Amino acid sequence: MIKFEDVSKSYDGKTNVVDSLDFEIEEGEFLVLIGPSGCGKTTTLKMINRLIPLTTGTIRIHDKKISDYAIHELRWQIGYVLQQIALFPHMTIEENISIVPELKQWKKDRIHDRVTELLDMAGLDPETYRKRMPSELSGGQQQRVGVVRALAADPDIVLMDEPFSALDPISRSKLQEDLLHLQRTIKKTIVFVTHDIQEALKLGDRICIMKDGKIEQLGTPEEILTTPSSPFVQEFIGPQGPQPFVIRAHMKPILTSKDLNIPKISIEAGWSVVLDALLVADLVAVESDNQIVGTLSRKTLLTFLAKHEKERTATA
């Protein structure tokens, strides 16, 4: 879907802020870029839609070099969500969402229906919010509009640059859940930048940890947690013990229809709930927004506990 081939970026011709990146993002994947400030994660994101030009190397989308796309053609298939919500203050919510469909010359009825669909998707009643101005919405509501606006013209790819970092913890957690639910519905390819490891573990199918413009580790949340590739990664993710056990990082896909009829726990369940559930069942279903999204096994839990007990003993 998106392929980086020996991609580097230098602003001064001397130092590479992104250095020789080689990796691929699969269609429908939620990839999180994370690392300390200045590691190159936002530059990496912005090179995908040519907001920042590459210095060397190649990025391909659908096996085509991004430099071979007309710039408007490239950006019309890529939605973009910023930390700064950037809704146009003088335009209604409907007008904000309609910008790209109008540029693509969609018919008015189609745009109207798309705005209705997206506001419903964002949990905002279309008839209530369609004609409101951005100043009439809370920060969390504005960010919801920013997310669905990026989806308005049904792009293949959505880039998100720390979109929730300016929100309060409650709004941020709710929008993370909304985004997970949305992704299960629309199955877009999402590249998401954050500096928060817990957010990365919660959202990402895979996590790319960067340092000094290079990839330190690229893997699933479980791989990052259980087999950090370097002391830097270990320090970056911080001490991980039973209390911060992240269900999403350890759950497996639904394999058969029988998995839907086993005991259920919430994807946000705490440690004690996980323990209680797996004491009485070998396998439980993981539920989010009343949908089964995966399974969690007693064997996985015991493996997690055994690893951390060995680490605790080794450092005692």
139: domain CATH number is 3.40.50.300
pTM check: above 0.85? no
Give 312's pLDDT tier (boundaries 50, 70, 90): low
CA-angle at 257, arms to 256 and 259, nearest 5°: 75
12 with 160, same domain? yes
9 with 105, same domain? yes
227 with 165, same domain? yes
Task: Give the rounded percent of residues in the chain with a pLDDT score beyond 90.
Answer: 56
Distance, in Å, from the CA atom of 95 to the CA atom of 59, rounded to the nearest integer, reads 33
Mean pLDDT of the chain: 88
124 with 189, same domain? yes
197 with 288, same domain? no
147 with 81, same domain? yes
Q: Which of 216, 237, 258 is the last residue of a domain?
A: 237
Residue 152 has pLDDT above 80, yes or no: yes
CATH number at residue 296: 3.10.580.10
Res 254: pLDDT: 74
Residue 55 lies in a domain: yes
Instruction: Tell me what the mean pLDDT of segment 201-222 comes to.
Output: 93
Res 241: pLDDT: 42
133 with 179, same domain? yes
Residue 297 has pLDDT above 80, yes or no: yes
Reference 288, options 218, 203, 194; nearest CA is 203
Q: Which of 218, 237, 256 is the last residue of a domain?
A: 237
Distance, in Å, from the CA atom of 312 to the CA atom of 295, rounded to the nearest integer, reads 27
Res 262: pLDDT: 85
Residue 45 has pLDDT above 80, yes or no: yes
Residue 145 lies in a domain: yes
67 with 182, same domain? yes
Residue 243 has pLDDT above 50, yes or no: no
Give 302's pLDDT tier (boundaries 50, 70, 90): confident
Residue 126 has pLDDT above 80, yes or no: yes
What would the pLDDT profile of 49-95 be if each residue is shown by its tens digit?
A: 999 999 999 999 999 999 999 998 899 899 999 877 778 999 999 99
Task: Give the rounded percent of residues in the chain with a pLDDT score beyond 70.
Answer: 93
Residue 169 has pLDDT above 60, yes or no: yes
Residue 168 has pLDDT above 90, yes or no: no
Give 174's pLDDT tier (boundaries 50, 70, 90): confident
Res 315: pLDDT: 54
- The 3-class secondary structure across 197-224, one letter per residue, is HHHHHHHCCEEEEEECCEEEEEECHHHH
153 with 302, same domain? no
23 with 161, same domain? yes
- Structural domain containing residue 284: 247-315
Res 178: pLDDT: 84
Instruction: Tell me what the mean pLDDT of segment 18-39 comes to.
Output: 95
258-272 b/e with 16+ CB inside 10 Å = b?
ebeeeeebebebeee
Helix locations, 79-230, DSSP H: 93-103, 108-121, 126-129, 139-150, 169-186, 197-203, 221-226
Number of domains in the chain: 2
162 with 45, same domain? yes
Residue 242 lies in a domain: no
* DSSP assignments along 48-63, one per residue: HTTSS--SEEEEEETT
Res 244: pLDDT: 56
Q: Which of 197, 212, 237 is the last residue of a domain?
A: 237
Res 242: pLDDT: 40
Q: 104: number of CA atoms within 13 Å, CB side?
A: 18
Residue 280 lies in a domain: yes
Instruction: Tell me what the mean pLDDT of segment 257-264 comes to.
Output: 74
144 with 269, same domain? no
Instruction: Tell me what the mean pLDDT of segment 109-135 comes to.
Output: 94
